[in-house]
Chains A and B, each alone.
Chain A
């Protein structure tokens, strides 16, 4: 299937190149050369259909493991306007789990994450997520 794709989409030849007299000039076709080069020089250790918060491409872990992300995430495009209904909804997400414990932090954390997501700031988003998880789970468990 990959070879067909290379032949049809990229116009590469599957047959071994020959000169005017029909004598092979090489022992591999264009398609085989491309596939061979990909295996040799462009191999990754892992591939994912998608990874939340990441764009399509090849990334590397600190230990050198490489992985390919096939599709980019869908980013929310921020648009200026009245968002008071959503704001009220998010701010209302404060749950009292016991008479002495309130969950205001979860509402403000949610708002922080929302703002960060809409601002496309992945580093801030990640930090906000960790802070909320740390605080919420300290109360939970």
Chain B
């Protein structure tokens, strides 16, 4: 789910108070994994709420394309690939997670 709006319209408040609360009170930031900065993602499975808020600074086309594919992969696939440091990756892990992306409204 993507929320876009002008600055200071309450996107962060909504994510921190309502969405995180509804989904159990914990969230993780998958920005590094979803922009291919790291290949390790085992920590992302602990929380049902994956939140990308102000952590995405890069605006180039390549990063956006990587992020698009990552969001699609996490949202549409039934199983995910888990990769922790020093361990073999494990495929087909089923999880119950939601991704929320918050962005300032703009071109």
A residues lining the B interface (CB < 8 Å): 45-46, 48-54, 61-63, 65, 67, 71, 73-76, 86, 89, 93, 95, 106, 110, 113-114, 117-118, 122, 125-126, 129-130, 133-134, 136-137, 141
Contacts and interface: CB of A to CB of B under 8 A. Distances in A.
Given A52-B24, A117-B23, A130-B78, 20 more contacts: A48-B45, A51-B45, A51-B46, A52-B95, A53-B96, A54-B96, A67-B90, A74-B26, A76-B25, A93-B3, A95-B2, A110-B1, A113-B98, A122-B96, A125-B96, A126-B94, A134-B76, A136-B1, A136-B75, A141-B72
A73 B92 contact: no
Chain A interface helix/strand/loop/mixed: mixed
A52 B43 contact: no
Contacts of A93: 1, 3
Contacts, number: 86
B42 A49 contact: yes
Contacts of B94: 126
Q: What are the nearest 3 A-B pairs in CB distance? A: A53-B96, A50-B46, A52-B48
Nearest to A67: B90
B18 A53 contact: no
A20 B72 CA distance: 69
A106 B1 contact: yes
Interface string B19-33: 001111110000000
Contacts of B46: 48-52, 71
